[in-house]
Structure 1
Amino acid sequence: MNDMIVEYKRDIHKSILTNKVEKIIDTFIPKHDGANWQNGFGYQLTGISNSDIKKITIESGGIVSQFMEGKDREPGQDYPTIILFDNQKTAINKTFTVTIDVTQEKFTETAFIPFFNNDYWEKTYSKFNMNPFIIISSGTGRDKEAHIVKFPPTSKMNFSYFGTDSDVSKPDEGLYYVNSENMPTGLQISGVRVGTKRSADFLVPIEKTSILEAYPKFGAWASSFGASNGYWWKDPDNSKVITQ
């Protein structure tokens, strides 16, 4: 749970006349690299048609993903997919700004709010419109992804990895990235920055330390699929996390 940690924010711009979304600006800053190997990072607007996105502009300080093939989104994907970098070790603390121009007069702001939890919204839009993922061992290929628990892979993922080792994903049932202990492969925590201030920041677990040890309440949160201990990250074991 410390191979890659990325902070992000999303700004949604709407038309004054129609109140519909015109533009989205996503900002990402990789804050921690705990992996011994090379990993990439990207995200997909899962559920949003490619035709609904007019243009994507990426400001990255010169860092370019080979998987983008010089395009404004990754070719061969069912939904708009942006790969920000192929090697996290060259990207730490750099800012990546993605400007997405949306087809006008179609979407309300609600359609692009990440992880919004509302029955009407989930039936009307896709809860996966912000679907971040790590490309595992990106130096050796593009076919292995790690997403937030229950979030779907992109069309580049090799499905033969599902069901191996401790993974109990069931692609035919739409269940992805779940293991035999109900431990997720990726997390999203809203309104929190990476830092060293207990109860205010997310403190990074020390390398080779289980997140179950670093955050004693994490296990109950994960096994309940988020139903209990929603603020588990506020109570780390200070001896198991980076505090300075």
Structure 2
Amino acid sequence: MKSRSGIIMRIIVLIYLVSLTGFAYSQVTLNCESGNRAIEQGNCWGFGAVTYSNTASLVISGSWSTKSNSLTNASATACWIKTPWMLVGNGNITFQTRLDGLGNGVSSKGILVAYIPYVSGASYGEGNAIQFYTYNFPAFNVTTVRDISIPIPAEIKNSSVVYKFRVSFIGTGGNERAYADNFIFPGTYWSDPSSSCGPKAVILDADGDGVPDSQDNYPNDPYRAYNNYYPSNNTFGTLAFEDCWPHKSDYDMNDVVTDYHFNTVTNGNNQVVEIIGKVVARASGASFKNGLGFQLDGIAPNKISSFSGNHISSPTIFEFQPNGLEANQTYANFIVFDNFYKVLQHPGAGSGINVSESAPFVPYDTIDLKIQFINHGVPAPGGTVSFNSLSANTFNFYIVSNQIRGNEIHLADRVPTNLANTSLFGTGSDNSNPAAGKYYKTANNLPWGINVVQGFQYPNEKNSIDQTYLHFVDWAVSSGAEYPNWYMNQSGFRDNSKIYH
């Protein structure tokens, strides 16, 4: 189902993000276990009068922690740790800290936390620090490890611009030192070590669905992200059926002729949100009142929230579930219309509709379908459907002939639904062999239905398809190996006098 352009688009996004970030995390962390502050500096962390220590009696966890200079300065710029540039997320900044208890008295020791906006042209790109949190160490039990948890300020959480955080250790009087460890900052690393640790270009994501706006077909909709077209963005395929199965009859393949176009909309998690379909009723050379449907093979009915837009008569031979799908089916079945002659009206002359050059042309009618899988972020009761499980081959098209529900006619080798009358297999001209996976084909592989993805010009009434398209039989008998382009307007490929124009 996914268009080549859609696949390439996703690959480009993935390569771009991986190559650009290099260190992309949902959290930016520092635990000192490298034992070498220069490594963290190479990854764009900043340290002012703060080193690493492995003094066993003072390390907070693991083998290493940060150690400040003596806290004798109340300035936030005297003793600090700065994060790399990051896209700030949501949640709490957390870390652990303690004093060493080795000084000559505790007097006004504390921690200040600030965020620093990016300002182009400023020194290191750093704007004025905005302090939003203060912690004062108690004057007792100074060596006790303190668990610090600080909510991200509302004005910068889930931001699409970059910030740094600065944790400052301050004090006046005495010469206590502060130890700290296990820093966690919610957000995504967004510094570029190869460019003096400046911020990388920010990829905007207005709806916060994890898909960059430049690659998001729905940049302001958190529930939708990608369009995946079939056959392509601006083309329609054609379905054409012969309705007298299991008999060949006139074999003009024009008893039901429709064009189709589908857009499978997915979210940032590659889950199917909805399928938007267009089915264009073009022609019918049938005396029968035929319906059109399709099954999504392997997709349970409870995976669908709703189905709408189809053309159903009243009364009808079909039974439906509350979500609009056909009832009593193992897999999701969608009836597009139950009677072609209720979609297009007979012109009053000629045989059928749009199959005779001498009869008036009846304008086509487009049926707009919508299959909802996830509604405003809420999946159907059966859960979500991954786009990877929904290919073009999942769509199993068929007609229901002559208002008899069991008379299903599918494309070649496509399985019937569980409401089909399988007792008709092997009768008339049909040579189906379910055990061998052969369905709806004659002994020499001729089908009763075709799907031409590139579009199809069908025969006039009573002109058999094999006499109209001169390599159709070669293609069918060879199971598609020969003349895969049998339908094209090339020299020696077709008799144009037998085609409806």
**More displaced stretch, 30-39 vs 50-59:** 50-59
Q: 2:306 aligns with which of 55, 62, 65?
A: 55
Decide whether the 8 Å contact of 2:290 with 2:400 is kept in 1.
Answer: yes
Give the corresponding residue for 2:258.
6
Query: Could you tell me how far 1:58 is from its partner in structure 2?
Result: 2.4
Q: Which moved more, 1:170-179 or 1:64-73?
A: 64-73
Query: Counterpart of 1:171 in structure 2: which amino acid?
Result: P
- Determine which structure has the larger strand proportion and give its number: 2
**RMSD of aligned C-alpha atoms?**
2.0
Shift of 1:106: 4.3
**Which one-letter code corresponds to 1:111 in the other structure?**
S
Rounded to whole Å, the distance in 2 between the matches of 1:41 and 1:145 is: 9
> C-alpha deviations, 1:128-168, integer Å up to 9, x for none?
x2111110111xx2111110000011111111100001111
Distance in 1, matches of 2:488 and 2:478, equals: 18
Contact 1:183 1:222 in 2 (8 A): yes
Secondary structure of 1:219's counterpart equals helix
Q: Which amino acid aligns with 2:392?
A: P
Say if 1:133 and 1:147, in contact at 8 Å, map to a contact too.
yes
Equivalent runs, 1:1-150 vs 2, <5 Å: 1-16=253-268, 18-60=269-311, 65-69=316-320, 71=322, 72-92=324-344, 93-102=364-373, 104=379, 106-115=384-393, 129-138=394-403, 141-150=404-413
TM-score with structure 2 length normalisation? 0.41
Deviation at 1:20? 2.2
Map of 2:69 onto structure 1: none
Q: Extract unaligned runs of 5+ from structure 1.
A: 116-128, 193-201
Identity %: 31
CA shift at 1:70, angstroms? 6.7
Of 168, 171, 178, the residue aligned with 2:441 is: 178
Alignment check: 8 A CA contact 1:144 1:158 kept: yes
Deviation at 1:69, TM superposition (A): 4.0
Q: Please tell me the residue identity of whatever aligns with 1:54.
A: S
Per the alignment, do residues 172 and 19 of structure 1 end up closer, same or farther by CA in structure 2, a change over 3 Å counting? Answer: closer
Which one-letter code corresponds to 2:496 in the other structure? N
Instruction: Give 2:465's aligned residue.
Output: 211
- Tell me whether 103-112 or 35-44 shows the greater mean CA deviation: 103-112
Q: 2: distance between equivalents of 1:183 and 1:132?
A: 17
- The Cα shift of 1:110 comes to 3.6
The answer on whether the counterparts of 1:68 and 1:83 sit within 8 Å (CA) in structure 2 is no
Q: Tell me if structure 1 keeps the 8 A contact 2:279–2:368.
A: yes
Q: Name the CA distance, whole Å, in 2 between partners of 1:215 and 1:14.
A: 39
Aligned to 2:496: 238
- Whole-angstrom CA distance in 1 between matches of 2:277 and 2:390: 11
Distance in 2 separating the partners of 1:113 and 1:70 = 25
What is the distance in 1 between the residues matched to 2:413 and 2:405? 20
CA shift in 2, pair 1:214/1:234, >3 Å = same
Q: Radius of gyration: which is bigger?
A: 2
Cα displacement string for residues 57-76 of structure 1 (whole angstroms, at most 9, x for unaligned residues): 2254x756541447401110
**For the structure 1 residues 170 and 2, does the alpha-carbon distance in structure 2 shift closer, same or farther, using more than 3 Å as the test?**
same
Amino acid at match of 2:325: R
Provide, for residues 6-52 of structure 1, a one-character-per-residue CA deviation record: whole Å limited to 9, x for no partner.
11111011113x23221111211111101122111111112111222
Letter in 1 for 2:389: A
Is 1:191 aligned to residue 454 of structure 2? Answer: yes
Q: Which amino acid aligns with 2:482?
A: S
CA contact (8 A) 2:303 2:385 kept: no
For 2:260, the aligned partner's letter is Y
Residues of 1 paired with 2:437 and 2:461: CA distance?
32
Q: Structure 1 residues 73 and 221 mapped into 2: Cα distance closer, same or farther (>3 Å)?
A: same
Alpha carbons of 1:232 and 1:133: their partners in 2 closer, same or farther (altered >3 Å)? same
Q: Which whole-Å CA distance do the structure 2 matches of 1:70 and 1:78 have between them?
A: 12
**What SS does the corresponding residue of 1:27 show, helix, strand or coil?**
strand
Q: Identify the residue that residue 195 of structure 1 maps to in structure 2.
A: none
Choose 169-178 or 100-109, whichever is displaced more. 100-109
TM (norm. structure 1) is 0.82
What is the alpha-carbon distance in structure 1 between the residues aligned to residue 294 and residue 479 of structure 2? 22
| Alpha-carbon displacement from aligned partner over 1:156-210 (angstroms, at most 9, x marks no partner) | 1111100001111012333210112310010011132xxxxxxxxx222121111
Q: Is the 8 A contact 1:68 1:82 kept in 2?
A: no
For 1:79 and 1:142, locate their aligned partners in 2 and report how far apart those are by CA, in whole Å: 16
CA distance in 2: counterparts of 1:173 and 1:19, whole angstroms:
34
| 1:91-128 superposed Cα distances (whole Å, 9 cap, x missing partner) | 1322222211225584443432313xxxxxxxxxxxxx
Q: Distance in 2 between matches of 1:130 and 1:91?
A: 22
**Matches of 1:174 and 1:52, distance apart in 2:** 26
The answer for unaligned runs of 5 or more in structure 2 is: 1-252, 345-363
Q: Distance in 2 between matches of 1:145 and 1:66?
A: 13
